[in-house]
Homo-oligomer: A and B are copies of this chain.
Amino acid sequence: MLLSKIAETLGIPIPDQCTDCEIGALCSPESANENDIVFLSNPKFAAAVETCNARFVIVKNGQTLPGKICLEIRDPYVGYAKVAQLFEDTNPLFGEGFSESAIIDPSAVIHESTSIGPGSVIGANVTIGAATRIGAKCIIEKECKIGNGCRIDSGVVIRYGCSIGNYVIIQSGAVIGSDGFGNALENSVFIRIPPFGTVIIEDNAEIGANCTIDRGNFEPTVIGNGVKLDNIIHIAHNVTIGENSAIAAQTGISGSTTVGKRVIIAGQVGFVGHINIGDDSFIGAKAGVSKSVDPGSKITGYPARDLMTMRRIEAAQQSLPELLKDMRKLKKELAELRTQLGHDQ
């Protein structure tokens, strides 16, 4: 990769002191060779970067490192992401075209630039756009629509009728469009409620490995533009997740809950159904969220409370056993005084 291409990607000129040249790889400081590039975002790693073999470093504006050629930008971590995308191998894993062993319904309409890996099954009336890469043994059931430039990793199941936008990534083992958990109770027996809705995943969204996203009952379940889901996340029927929200692993969102835009949700969080999480909120790890929260809220804990309140409660819990002892002592001492001063006991 040419240094000039990297600089262009970062939106900066080539550093003054050097001419264009070939960069070998984007690396960690530990594994870098002389012609590789590394990045310095967290000051904790400054020493490792300074002493590493790489000559080229993506740094924060104004930062210099002795003996290094520094590419300065506002946010080196963003720079890292962009340069990593440059170096990414985006060739289809199983080669171009449609694998001979793929089982493609004749009614499916698939752009010729799209690749389909061995053993994948494409159902009736499926449409798939251009330059989408589908791995091995994926199942795209009937009536699904998939856009351009998507990456559907090996072993993904997209059930019937779901819509996937452009540049969406769905990782292995994810199930899109499973039935929601809908049951009515009659005489202690559950009567299943079949769903009629679908799932819509909008552009640039990413779905982690082994996630499950249930279809809606009537209206669709919606994963908004640019939403990022980590692994093993459960999204129930009729949930809506607003654009550019991110959710860490093993979180679960119950039916009909709405998550706003730019919401950050940590791992192993649980949400009850039918609540609204306001835009730009933050939800701490393992929180149990049972009520709607306003935009910009920061909550954590179980039951979830305001973040600072919860931190104070958690700190105070440490003193709880001592508090009980103190209380016993105080009650005794106070009773003594009251007796001494002629109060009824």
Contact = CB atoms under 8 A, between A and B. Distances in A.
A147 interface: no
A217 interface: yes
Contacts of A214: 209, 231
A269 B167 CA distance: 33
Count of identical protomers in the assembly? 3
Interface stretch (A15-23, A62-70, A336-344): A336-344
A206 B270 CA distance: 22
A221 interface: no
Given A175-B172, A219-B28, A228 B181 contact: yes
A81 to B, nearest CB: 4
A248 interface: yes
Given A31-B219, A78-B191, A159-B172, A321 B316 contact: yes
Interface string A24-50: 011110110000000000000000000
Given A232-B232, A326-B327, 14 more contacts: A81-B182, A81-B191, A103-B119, A139-B155, A159-B172, A212-B231, A249-B252, A272-B285, A313-B321, A316-B321, A320-B320, A337-B337, A337-B338, A341-B341
Interface of A: 25-28, 30-31, 75, 77-78, 80-82, 84-85, 87-88, 93-94, 99, 101, 103, 117-119, 121, 123, 135-137, 139, 141-142, 153-155, 157, 159-160, 169, 171-173, 175, 178-179, 181-186, 188-194, 196, 206, 208-210, 212, 214, 217-219, 226, 228, 230-232, 234, 236, 244, 246, 248-250, 252, 254, 262, 267-268, 270, 272, 285-286, 288, 290, 302-303, 305, 309, 312-321, 323-324, 326-327, 330-331, 333-334, 336-338, 340-341, 343
9 contacts: A85-B191, A99-B103, A103-B136, A157-B173, A209-B212, A230-B236, A231-B236, A323-B323, A334-B334
